[in-house]
Amino acid sequence: MRPNNHTHPRRRAALATAAAILLAGSAISAAAPALAEPAHPGHEDPFEHNHQPSEQAQPKLFPGQQETAAGEPDVAPGETESSNMELLSNIPMDGTLQGTGSDLAFEGNYAYAGNYDGFTVYDLSNPKEPSKLTEVYCPGAQNDVSVYGDILIASVDARMVDDKCGSERTSDPENYWEGIRVFDISDPADPQYIKSVETKCGSHTNSMAPSKNGQDLYVYVSSYSPNAALANCQPPHDLISVVKIPVKNPTAAAVVSEPNLFPDGGYEGGGWASATSGCHDITTYAKKDIAAGACMGDGIIMDISDRENPVVTERVRDTENFAFWHSATFNNDATKVVFTDELGGGGWATCTEEFGPELGANAIYELKGGKLDFASYYKIPRINTENENCVAHNGSLIPVKGKDLMVQSWYQGGTSVFDFTDAKNPKEVAWFDRGEGLSGGGTWSSYYYNGYVYSNDLSVGLDTFKLDSAIDAKAKKQKELNPQAQRRY
């Protein structure tokens, strides 16, 4: 699809409204209350991201849209699913944590679910019907979580009065804290907060890369959109923060380097595509000493053989169809990378006829000889209503040898399972859609873990799904799962 300069009148109004909402909440405004829900679905909430509004939020004409009026949705309001995917259970968000649900990580028989108010630990001993083990109240958007042995890391991308759990947000541009928090989860029923590490521009997401001897855990902290008015988020911000955590002494965690990934400043932005000012998310593949970064206006591959000093070895851009490079997933052989585009910050209804099959989609690249070659786009094939925020979001591989299968969240577009073994012809094989109005934003993360798909919804809690055995009968068992720190299966 080639970009054009036309926008359907109804969509133009919607885009302008969404942009106005984002711009109204720019970083230096008053802090939101600790239990506030996002101003709109998705994690680019102006109160949650405390720097500048993302580039794609600017009120510009949107290229690439089709001028046809929106058709009737393929999925009517109300839960519906493909015949080979079944919702088994839901644990509602009915406890202490009432913020937005975010990312998931798994260790043994436990799932750790991020929430803007902290994180929840679920017991998966009965994987069909998980139970809530405990909640940890520790506000700080997004609270994206990663786990490694007895260590849990939570990202804080919000200016807090200090680093304590229970700390409130502040609008003070000089005296504030944001970064990562480290917890001891040796007793999953009673996590202990043991250390904080402040990082420049906070921590929107975090990705782990253990040392080859396993004695140290390196954490790549992604953050972006600097602001000259903020003491610890000065432009230019073309770096990531590398935090070293000694596994046997995690209280010694500290920033050990701040590599500049974009000496040339990164993509300068153009039209509607975001300029690069940091990375949104990084996925490591420590076994192969590589990482893939989704960095606003750039998609990158890095050599991480020197954990403290990652080096960018490949960079690609999509100025026609990508607005905001959001996340990345390798296939098992690291011969392909699925990049996602978070068009509209998660708050726009982009799964409509007007946006077509390429805007707000995944981009699948083949990785050959260290070079990325574009293969195809993948977007859910169902048409959503104009009231459903929908765009590509967090997902993970289904570990079936010889196939490239992925399960992925699409906010109110639901959860999609697709096969990209043929990189040029990806196909959806299963799906679940909660339907319009039944969730305040839809599903943030959908991951496959030991025979089941688990989804953390922004507002209705944890879902558990079962796929037909024809899809995952040969899936490998996993001892842990951190989708942003891939392991070979």
pTM, whole model, 2 decimals? 0.89
Residues 6 or more apart in contact with residue 249 via CB below 8 angstroms: none
- Strand 85-91 and strand 443-449: pairing? unpaired
Fold of 9-481: Methylamine Dehydrogenase; Chain H (2.130.10)
343 secondary structure, DSSP code: G
Residue 326: which of 290, 273, 286 has the closest Cα? 273
**Number of residues assigned to the chain:** 489
- Domain layout of the chain by residue ranges: 9-481
pLDDT at 156: 98
Q: How many helices (H) does the chain have, and how many strands (E)?
A: 2, 30
- Strand 205-210 and strand 192-198: pairing? unpaired
Residue 434: which of 455, 407, 405 has the closest Cα? 455
pLDDT at 475: 97
pLDDT at 77: 65
Backbone phi and psi for residue 192, each to the nearest 5 degrees, phi listed first: -120, 130
pLDDT tens for the chain, residues 1 to 489: 222 333 333 333 333 333 332 322 222 222 222 222 222 233 344 223 333 323 333 333 344 444 444 466 777 666 688 999 999 999 999 999 999 999 999 999 999 999 999 999 999 999 999 999 999 999 999 999 999 999 999 999 999 999 999 999 999 999 999 999 999 999 999 999 999 999 999 999 999 999 999 999 999 999 999 999 999 999 999 999 999 999 999 999 999 999 999 999 999 999 889 999 999 999 999 999 999 999 999 999 999 999 999 999 999 999 999 999 999 999 999 999 999 999 999 999 999 999 999 999 999 999 999 999 999 999 999 999 999 999 999 999 999 999 999 999 999 999 999 999 999 999 999 999 998 989 999 999 999 999 999 999 999 999 999 999 999 999 999 999 999 999 999
Cα 463 to chain center, whole Å?
Answer: 18
pLDDT at 38: 29
**Would you state the structure tokens that stand for residue 59, as one six-digit string?**
């009120």
pLDDT at 71: 61
- Name the residue type at position 335: T
Cis peptide before 310 (omega within 30 of 0): no
Question: Is residue 406 classed as helix, strand or coil in its secondary structure?
Answer: strand
Largest Cα–Cα distance in the chain? 60
Distances in Å between the Cα of 226 and the Cα atoms of 124, 229, 239, 270 are 40, 9, 11, 18
